[in-house]
Structure 1
Amino acid sequence: MWTEVLISIDEAHAEDLSDALMEAGALSVSVEDENADTEAEVPLYGEPGMEPTTHAWQQSRLVVLVEAETDIEHMLDVAFDALDLPVPAFETRTVEAQDWVRLTQSQFEPIGITDNLWIVPTWHDAQDEAGRINLRLDPGLAFGTGSHPTTRVCLQWLASEMPEKLKGSTVLDYGCGSGILAIAAKKLGAGDVIGTDIDPQAVQSAMDNAVANDTEATFVLPDGMIDGATYDVVVANILSNPLKLLASALVSRVGQGGHLVLSGILERQTDELIEAYAPYMKMALWRADDGWIALVGQKA
């Protein structure tokens, strides 16, 4: 059993106080929006190259996890004194011991991408139906479990195009994360498939997922890419800012007549992404899902 301590704090002190609380004996500290789930809630997120400068809100709430027997008042005295701040009013709540593994697993059910393409966690029994492809994938360190709209629309495009029109095509999954798009492409009938990511953990995760799915796919860091190599299909599910910066580089990886699929783009960013790619390739909206979109283009 543990105790959570809830403290309201302003943006300027949230990060420093989190560090001070950890030094004073807290097991963990998370920073939340004090106005979460209200009309005053403020989004806080960034993109590669455009990270937020402060990981806190104007009015933040610290959720401090401690052992049940912790002298909370003493811990707070030590932490706030280190910053020369008075200890404010705070709340506590009990956290019951749980089977965290089972609780986490219960939050991830099989995901139907199309009628014949499913993402199935390894702890679930996959239904072995004729023509159905089950991608065995567990939540991990790398992005891409199939639950996010950006991943879904990319998978739906692959499922609609790969089995018949693009069977045997070479595929590049740029920013591969968990490797889900590359693995799905291979399962759907692609030829040689490669994925790349700047994160070594993502590359290792993708390799492990390929083995778990009995799939032949190559995953490398960017310096492992073959200079000048082009592909029939290039899929990049990252974020709008890096997609704009990488426009020329991504298009250069698409072979003549090949397809480029982009996602990680909010609907309101559609026109600016199309404009960013206009000098290199004509892109068009393919599908929207819950405020996110996929753009697709074909190299003339």
Structure 2
Amino acid sequence: MKWYEIRINTTDEASDAVAEMLTTMGAGGVAIKDPFDIRKEIEKPGTLDYADDDFLEALGEDVIISAYFQNGLDINDLLKQINDGLMNISQFLDTGKGLEGYGEVDDEDWSTAWKKYYKPFRLTDRIVIKPTWEEYRAEENDIIVEMDPGMAFGTGTHETTQMCSILLDKYMSANHDVLDVGCGTGILSIIASKLGAKKIEAIDIDEVAVRVAKENIEINGEAGKIKAFQAVLSDLKAGDEKFDIIVANIIANVIVDLSSLIPYYLKKNSLFITSGIIKERKQDVIDACLKNGMSFIDDLEMGEWVAMVFRCPDTL
């Protein structure tokens, strides 16, 4: 099978938002070449004792994203959608030079090459994300989450996933019931289960994400506690089941839209943990949640991103 390879030249701050946009549009895969990631690796203790200044300078600052779409789509319409999406993101983030062009490639040229860049890494003090094809020697008290992201978005490397994981670790108690809205690869559901949650429901609007989430849940041996299925929040009948924690690592616009529904799916005094929010939209999300009776109790910031915790009112 041949694929369209669409190349976008963007910035470090916008790269994750652009990648998520492309995935939402139906990209079968997204590869990110980020010089800042290389610099971060070089700066880690024990990685390299020496790096040539000319090499570091040659890396530049442009982030190149390659997105792969099935051949047969109306390429002109697709390019227009991508340009419109970049324009929307540029209202909040510097998206850089933008669309560079496109070409055609075969399956074997891209479908597995990205794996060499995805290595085990420590997400929090005790949570380690390990690709299924990599070896890792666990330390005492490590919680190991094995991931194969396939064609779904969410390997755990993003700041929003890290912040949600830290907040889950901070606020979750054993035997909590958890709802993961926009579960992606299932990473937060799996983390919640390994942190002691009694039961988790993981929902996503994208069928590919749900399939990948189910595979990762099986890999981690958590199928007995996690149910993943294709749905949006309103598909769940409010009042039939309520949760101790709802976690949603999505985008600000969706969070604002969901803020009027969230309290009806939470038990009294329970928590809404959310991220995927760029700093410029933080107050919009706070205002929407406060308007719907929730109280703001905690937040974290990493890079250009924010995660927040709200408490459900006790009057519903």
Q: TM-score, normalised by structure 1?
A: 0.69
Partner of 2:305: 292
Q: Any conservation in 2 of the 1:237–1:263 contact (CA below 8 Å)?
A: yes
User: Residue 126 of structure 1: CA displacement?
Assistant: 2.6
User: Residue 101 of structure 1: CA displacement?
Assistant: 6.6
SS in 2 for 1:257: strand
Aligned CA RMSD, in angstroms, stands at: 3.2
2: CA distance between counterparts of 1:136 and 1:289?
A: 24
Q: Any conservation in 1 of the 2:149–2:212 contact (CA below 8 Å)?
A: no
Say which is worse superposed, 137-146 or 224-233, in terms of deviation: 224-233
Could you say if the C-alpha distance between residues 260 and 117 of structure 1 is closer, same or farther in structure 2, counting changes exceeding 3 Å?
same
Tell whether 2:255 aligns with 1:246. no
Choose from 37, 59, 64 the match for 2:103.
64
Choose from 195, 202, 205 the match for 1:188.
195
Could you say if the C-alpha distance between residues 66 and 52 of structure 1 is closer, same or farther in structure 2, counting changes exceeding 3 Å?
closer
Choose from 30, 40, 56 the match for 2:6.
30
**Higher-helix-fraction structure:** 2
Q: Aligned letter for 2:184?
A: G
Tell whether 2:173 aligns with 1:134. no
User: Residue 27 of structure 1: CA displacement?
Assistant: 6.2
**Structure 2 unaligned blocks of 5 or more:** 26-77, 87-96
Partner of 2:215: 208
Partner of 2:227: 218
2: CA distance between counterparts of 1:154 and 1:44?
A: 20
2: CA distance between counterparts of 1:214 and 1:45?
A: 29
Tell whether 2:121 aligns with 1:111. yes
The aligned runs of 1:142-153 (5 Å cut-off) are 142-153=152-163
Q: Aligned letter for 2:82?
A: H
Q: TM-score, normalised by structure 2?
A: 0.66
Tell whether 2:178 aligns with 1:171. yes
2: CA distance between counterparts of 1:150 and 1:37?
A: 17
Q: Any conservation in 2 of the 1:265–1:293 contact (CA below 8 Å)?
A: yes
Could you say if the C-alpha distance between residues 207 and 276 of structure 1 is closer, same or farther in structure 2, counting changes exceeding 3 Å?
same
Q: Any conservation in 1 of the 2:123–2:157 contact (CA below 8 Å)?
A: no
Q: Aligned letter for 1:61?
A: E
Report how many aligned residue pairs link the two structures.
236
Could you say if the C-alpha distance between residues 66 and 174 of structure 1 is closer, same or farther in structure 2, counting changes exceeding 3 Å?
closer
Partner of 2:276: 264
Q: Aligned letter for 2:303?
A: D
Could you say if the C-alpha distance between residues 46 and 240 of structure 1 is closer, same or farther in structure 2, counting changes exceeding 3 Å?
same
Choose from 82, 85, 91 the match for 1:55.
82
Q: Any conservation in 2 of the 1:195–1:220 contact (CA below 8 Å)?
A: yes
Tell whether 2:166 aligns with 1:156. yes
2: CA distance between counterparts of 1:206 and 1:37?
A: 29
Amino-acid identity (%):
28
* Structure with greater Cα Rg: 1
User: Residue 225 of structure 1: CA displacement?
Assistant: 3.5
Q: Any conservation in 2 of the 1:285–1:293 contact (CA below 8 Å)?
A: no
2: CA distance between counterparts of 1:207 and 1:113?
A: 21
Q: Aligned letter for 1:202?
A: A
Partner of 1:14: none
1: CA distance between counterparts of 2:218 and 2:202?
A: 14
Say which is worse superposed, 180-189 or 133-142, in terms of deviation: 133-142
